[in-house]
Amino acid sequence: MPTPLRFATCFTLLACALAPLSGRTLPQPPTPAEQNLWKQQGRTLPVPEAQQPTLDPALPAYVPRRDIELSGHFKGAASDVLALLTKQWIAAFQKYYPKVVLDVPPPYAGSLGALELIKGDLQFVMVSRELKPTDISGFAEKFGYPPFSAPISGGTYRHFGFLDAIAFFVHPDNPLRQLTFDQIDALYSTTHHRGGGAITTWGQLGLTGEWADKPVHLWGVKPWNGFEEFIRQRALSVGAKRGEWRPDIHFTETVFPISPAVAADRYALGYAGLAYIGDDVKLLSLGVKTGGPAVAPGIEEVYQARYPLSRLVFFNTNKRPGQPLDPVLEEFLRFLLSREGQQVVLDQATFVPLRAGQADASRALLK
């Protein structure tokens, strides 16, 4: 277990989380005033990364429908980080279909998922997180089937609050260079759906010498949270089998204290969004399968969707399995997944456009 005195200040008003770390100031939790403003206007866009992604040339061009005239008024909702992008998508789509009205009024909130569709006054929700169990169970209890959820954009590389990619990291003295999803499951879960037993020491991860018998001090975000849900779904869960966290993880209420905590403990391992990670910890490359390639959390790896903990933006709606969507909503989704739809993402210079294979996978969900 970590020495309590070394971490006491990290939990005192998040003092450690708010301090500059090795030349880079980490983000601060938003104030109530900022949160209220975001609900009405959406979040202020971050300064674009100096290195921008490119559009995948294999994305299909959008071909508007000419066999029928699309029209109607549809109401949706959007996460606060997606408010502006959603409006830009709608404006571009309406150039093809001027008789279609897609209305996405405030309030905007990062907590939006699928439960908002239950009341029936919304036809779609633009969501900046994965669906959590209560989204799926609450929706299924009402309709008898799960909500339709399709990725429509990548997240970001390291923009605070804008679905930054997630990385695992250790103290800079630690010689470990990479982890696999199998090892993350063995370290962090009680369920071990990926097989194998629990990993509790650095020696079990291949380290030798003074590190071999030292315990791994695990850090993570307390459930429920979008960061831990993403890790749980990607690394701890397999198919319909949901992974469960070990109870002895050092859980924090928010993601902010984790990087400072790991920087202060030679034997710590933690995860956070790249925007929340200081320069005084060491990032690990990640491999999905044991024996497979390990990918570093670099900007180009995120842009090319090669890094396995890159995030996604989702379009959620009510679609009965085996039945088509309303033609307007289906065409809107097809536009989002086209070259022109992803060009809107690229032009905004915040989120990462989908690669062609990702767009193909989302389009296949319509069948």
CATH assignment at residue 86: 3.40.190.10
d(CA 293, CA 285): 9
Same-domain status, 20 and 169 = yes
pLDDT, mean of residues 55-63: 98
d(CA 6, CA 283): 22
Same-domain status, 23 and 109 = no
pLDDT at 8 over 90: no
Please write the tens of the pLDDT for every residue from 12-46: 222 333 333 344 678 888 999 999 999 999 999 99
Same-domain status, 46 and 23 = no
**Domain edge (last residue) among 260, 285, 303:** 303
Which burial class, exposed, middle or buried, applies to 346 when counting CB atoms under 10 A from its CB (0-12, 13-18, 19+)?
A: middle
Please write the tens of the pLDDT for every residue from 67-104: 999 999 999 999 999 999 999 999 999 999 999 999 99
Same-domain status, 145 and 210 = no
Same-domain status, 11 and 65 = no
For the chain, the domain total comes to 2
pLDDT, mean of residues 166-181: 98
For residue 24, what pLDDT is reported? Answer: 61
Average pLDDT over the chain reads 92
The structure tokens listed for 212 are 């071999």
Same-domain status, 38 and 153 = yes
Band (pLDDT 50/70/90 cuts) for residue 1 is very low
The number of CA neighbours under 13 Å toward the Cβ of 76 is 27
d(CA 129, CA 162): 10
pLDDT, mean of residues 333-362: 98
SS3 at position 114: coil
Same-domain status, 325 and 357 = yes
Same-domain status, 72 and 54 = yes
- Domain carrying residue 74: 34-157+312-364
Same-domain status, 201 and 273 = yes
For residue 15, what pLDDT is reported? Answer: 30
Same-domain status, 171 and 196 = yes
For residue 244, what pLDDT is reported? Answer: 98
Same-domain status, 222 and 341 = no
Same-domain status, 318 and 298 = no
